[in-house]
Amino acid sequence: MATLSSFNISARRYLGNKTKLLPFILNITNKNCKNIRSVADIFSGTGVVASAFIDKTIYTNDILQSNYFCNVAWFSPENYDKDKIKFLLDDFNKYDKNENNYMRENFADTYFSAKVCSKIGFIRESIDNLKESNKINEKEKAILITSLIYAMDKIAATCGHYDAYRKNAKLVNEINLTLPQFYNKLNINNQCFNKDANELIKEIYADLIYIDPPYNSRQYSDTYHLLENIATWKKPQVFGVARKMDRSMIKSKYCSNTANDTFINLISNINAKYILLSYNNMSTKGNNRSNAKISDEVIIQSLSTRGEVSIFSQEHKAFSTGKSNIKDNYERLFLCKCR
C-alpha cells in the first residue's frame, strides 16, 4: 500500500475562512469568557473555528451537506478504522479508467478533465455502495467524502469557488485522495448538525455560541454548488455554463433582504452564557453584492436585548477572487455576555 500524504482542516479555499483570525478569536474568548465547557459554531463552514475549541464539547452546524460531512469527519466522536480508511483511499487512487458516469456526463472538461471526472464519479458512487452494504459507518463515509472534497478543491480550475471555471485553463489528468490529520481526543458529547441555524438554535444550549453568518448577497449554495452536488449525490439535472443544480432549498435568508429580521429572530432564541458574532465592516464599501446585509444598528440593538455587548476589531484582508482590493477592512467580534 502506498504511503498517503495528509491534509489538515484549513487546507480548503473557502470564502470567509477564519484560519488567520483564530488567534484573534481565541484571545478575545480567553480574556473575556469564563468557564467555557461547550461551544456551538452554528454557521460552521469548514469547521476551522470549531477546531480551535477541540478540547471542549463542540456542536457544529451548516446548511450545506458538503460542510456537514467535513464536520462529521473532523469532530464526530464515532469510532472509525484508520487502517480501513487508508486501504480504501489507496484503492480509490489506483482507479485509472475513462468510464462514463454522472460526473463525466455533466462536468467533463469544465472544472476538471474528463478523466478526473470519471474518477470522481467512480469514487463517490463507491462510497455510497460501501455504506449501503454496511462496510463503512457514518463517520467513515464522511471521512472518505471529506478526502474527496479536499482533493477536488486542490486541483479544480477555479478561482477558489465554483461560480465559474477558468476557461482555457490547463486541466490536470489526475486526482489523488489523501488522509485527514485526525484529532486524537474528541469529546464524546460532540454533535454535528445539518439544519437551518434559526431552527437549531431553539434546540441546543452551549456556554459559547459563535455566529458567523454570510455577510452579503453571495449565496454559498451558488459558490459551492458542485461540492454540494458531490456530497448529496442525488445526481440532479444541471444547467448553465457553471453546471449548477437547483439550489432553492439551501438558499440562506442571511443573503437576502430578510437578513435583519432573520438575525433578530436568531438572537432572541439563543440559550447561552456568551454570544460571539463575527461580522466585518464591509458595510457599503464594495459593490451591491458585497455589501453587508445586516446593519450595525440591528446587530448592536439585538445583542443588547440579551446582555452587555463589547466590540473588538482587527485589520483583516478578506479572501476574494482577485477582482477586488478593498482597503481598511476590519474583522469585528461582537461579544455579548448574556444576562
DSSP assignment of 279-296: --S-TTSS-TTTS-SS-H
**Considering only 91-95, 160-164, 263-267, 284-288, which range has the smallest mean pLDDT?**
284-288
Quick check: is 180 in a domain? Answer: yes
Residue 98's pLDDT is 96
User: 68-77, 113-122, 273-282: which has the minimum mean pLDDT?
Assistant: 273-282
d(C-alpha 68, C-alpha 63), whole Å: 8
Question: Quick check: 1 pLDDT over 80?
Answer: no
Nearest of 47, 18, 25, 36 to residue 193 by alpha carbon: 47
Do 235 and 112 sit in the same domain of this protein?
A: yes
Residue 252 has pLDDT above 80, yes or no: yes
C-alpha cell at 45: 463552514
Q: 197, 231, 248: which is the final residue of a domain?
A: 248
Average pLDDT score over residue span 122-138: 98
Is the pLDDT assigned to residue 281 strictly greater than 90? no
Query: Contact, 328 vs 24, CB < 8 A?
Result: no
DSSP conformation class of 189: T
Q: What is the pLDDT of residue 287?
A: 45
Q: What does the pLDDT read at residue 222?
A: 95
Judge if 159 and 84 occupy the same domain.
yes
How far CA 94 is from CA of 82, 91, 175, in Å, comes to: 19, 5, 10
How would residue 308 be classed by pLDDT, with cut points 50, 70 and 90?
A: very high
* Residue 84 belongs to domain spanning: 78-185+220-248
Q: Give the per-residue pLDDT at 328.
A: 59
Domain check: are 304 and 155 in the same one?
no
198 found inside a domain: yes
Under DSSP, the state recorded for 212 is -
| Residues with Cβ within 8 Å of residue 182, at least 6 apart in sequence | 74, 82
In a domain, 292, yes or no: yes
Cα dist from 149 to 68, 104, 225, whole Å: 12, 16, 12
User: Are 176 and 276 part of one and the same domain?
Assistant: no
Cβ neighbors of 92 (< 8 A, separation 6 or more) are 119, 122, 123, 126, 144, 177
* Residues whose CB is less than 8 angstroms from the CB of residue 30 and which lie 6 or more positions away in sequence, other chains included: none
Please give the pLDDT value at position 314: 87
- Count of structural domains, the chain: 2
276 or 317: whose pLDDT is higher?
276
Q: Is residue 154 in some structural domain?
A: yes
Alpha helices, H only, the chain: 22-32, 48-51, 65-75, 82-93, 102-107, 114-132, 138-155, 197-200, 220-223, 225-232, 259-268, 296-304
Query: Whose grid coordinates read 446587530?
Result: 299
User: Is pLDDT at 320 greater than 60 in this prediction?
Assistant: no
**What whole-number percentage of the chain has pLDDT above 90?**
85
pLDDT digits (tens, 9 = 90+) for 16-72: 889 999 999 999 999 999 999 999 999 999 999 999 999 999 999 999 999 999 999
Per-residue pLDDT reduced to its tens digit, 175-232: 999 999 999 899 999 999 999 999 999 999 999 999 999 988 889 999 999 999 999 9
- Dig out the grid coordinates for 91 from the structure: 484503492
